[in-house]
Amino acid sequence: MSKHPCSSLDAVLADVRACRVCVPHLPLGPRPIVRARADARILIVGHAPGARVHASGIPWDDASGDRLRNWLGIDATLFHDESQFAIIPMGFCYPGRGNGGDKPPRRECAQLWLDSLLEKLPEIQLTLLIGQYAQQHFLGSRRKTSLTETVRAWKEYAPAFVPLPHPSPRNQPWFQRHPWFESEVLPMLRERVDLLVAQDLGPAG
């Protein structure tokens, strides 16, 4: 249930960016990294910003973002066009380092803000669920027993959702073990993105 039913998207975004709920738990302090416009047609939901993204304030401003843009077949300018892509991670602030990588996204973000943001994005036609936390939240019991099987079953969630592995360089062994992802999933993904971006841009000339 929305906690901000009468607020505009800009007002909710302003509240998100002013949020200080998790201050005691954030090693670098709060810096929510969220971007959206009401006319966006594609939503990207990942884990949480890394330290580099926290420093720059630009979502997916790292090697993972480079790979993600390659998957989508787009450049950085288009990727950061808020009228095309809304970018709302499961955790809005950098959660700090844990054993073997960054900590999981904090739960407070989804609990406090996610529904309110999604309600203000009526044009979303494709949601990319990057990693287990996004897939757990959006797919719930429809998920398979592993991320690999969930991604492999992408047809069950289409056309609204496409589950994806995280594009982190740390996942290179996964990509090597599962060549079907590049040969089967990525062509479909690029076709869907091309179609939605073309719709949004309208006819040339």
Q: Which tokens belong to 110?
A: 């989804």
Count of domains for the chain = 1
Residue bearing tokens 């995280």:
166
Tell me, yes or no, whether 62 lies in a domain: yes
- Residue 163 belongs to domain spanning: 9-201
**CATH code for the domain of 112:** 3.40.470.10
The model carries a pTM of 0.93
Q: Band of the pLDDT at 127, cuts 50, 70, 90?
A: very high
Tell me, yes or no, whether 1 lies in a domain: no
The angle formed by the CA atoms of residues 61, 63 and 65, to the nearest 5 degrees, is: 50
Tell me, yes or no, whether 3 lies in a domain: no
Tell me, yes or no, whether 115 lies in a domain: yes
DSSP secondary structure string, 132-201? Answer: HHHHHHHHGGGS-SSHHHHHHTGGGTTTTEEEE----GGGHHHHHH-THIIIIIHHHHHHHHHHHHHHHH
pLDDT digits (tens, 9 = 90+) for 24-80: 999 999 999 999 999 999 999 999 999 999 999 999 999 999 999 999 999 999 999
